[in-house]
Amino acid sequence: MIEARQQAARRRDGETVLDLRGLRCPQPVLRAKKALRNIQVGSALVLECTDPLTMIDVPAFTQQTGHTLAAQRREGALYVFKIVKQR
């Protein structure tokens, strides 16, 4: 059941939100890459992660792929990233 919840993207305030809690590296970045294929250029993808390594992996991913890391924050054990699709 957790796997189905993690794979489902939901819409919130015009953004696509991925609940990636409990997934370990490299899964959050791989799921983000897949989700970015399905949103329009200029749209935002929000990642909700619990793996501390995402603080390194997600910024590196956006830099390598040319997408914009518009925001990143930590809320206790939750790491939240907002990626804006550029191409």
DSSP string, the chain: -HHHHHH-EEEETTEEEEEETT--TTHHHHHHHHHHTTS-TT-EEEEEE--TTHHHHHHHHHHHHT-EEEEEEEETTEEEEEEE---
pLDDT at 26 (0 to 100): 95
pLDDT at 11 (0 to 100): 76
pLDDT at 8 (0 to 100): 57
**Of 12, 18, 20, 25, which is the active-site residue?**
25
Domain of residue 10, residue span = 2-84
Q: pLDDT per position in the chain (87 positions), as tens?
A: 344 344 457 777 779 999 999 999 999 999 999 999 999 999 999 999 999 999 999 999 999 999 999 999 999 999 999 999 998
CATH code of the domain covering residue 24:
3.30.110.40
49 among known catalytic residues: no
Structural domains in the chain (count): 1
pLDDT at 60 (0 to 100): 98
